[in-house]
């Protein structure tokens, strides 16, 4: 039985952050997460398996929220 994961969209900041943490683990510390260029972050989000948003729908607010939630996710796992 396969585990169904609902598609993620830009407003799903916390789900996206959790997926990024699962993908990169502790490769990125809090300081490194905050130094990620938005162009890289955008590409990584778009490459997540069940992400259905588009590059055109992205904005700085979404990327900032994802970055902040990723930091919280990283802290929770330390």
On the question of pLDDT at 58 being above 70, the answer is: yes
| CATH architecture of the region 13-77 | Orthogonal Bundle (1.10)
pLDDT at 1 over 80: no
pLDDT single digits (tens) 4-38: 778 999 999 999 999 999 999 999 999 999 999 99
pTM score, whole prediction: 0.91
Using alpha carbons, list the distances in angstroms from residue 70 to 2, 4, 10, 31, 34.
26, 23, 14, 11, 9
What pLDDT shows up at residue 2? 55
pLDDT band at 57 (very low <50, low <70, confident <90, very high): very high
Residue ranges of the domains in the chain? 13-77
pLDDT of residue 5: 75
Residue 53 CA to residue 22 CA, distance in Å, equals: 19
């Amino acid at each position: 039985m396969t585990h169904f994961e609902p598609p993620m969209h830009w407003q799903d900041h916390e789900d996206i952050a959790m997926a990024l943490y699962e993908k990169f683990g502790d490769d990125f510390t809090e300081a490194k997460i905050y130094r990620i260029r938005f162009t890289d972050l955008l590409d990584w989000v778009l490459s997540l398996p069940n992400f259905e948003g588009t590059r055109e729908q992205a904005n700085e607010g979404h990327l900032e929220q994802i970055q902040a939630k990723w930091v919280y996710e990283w802290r929770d796992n330390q």
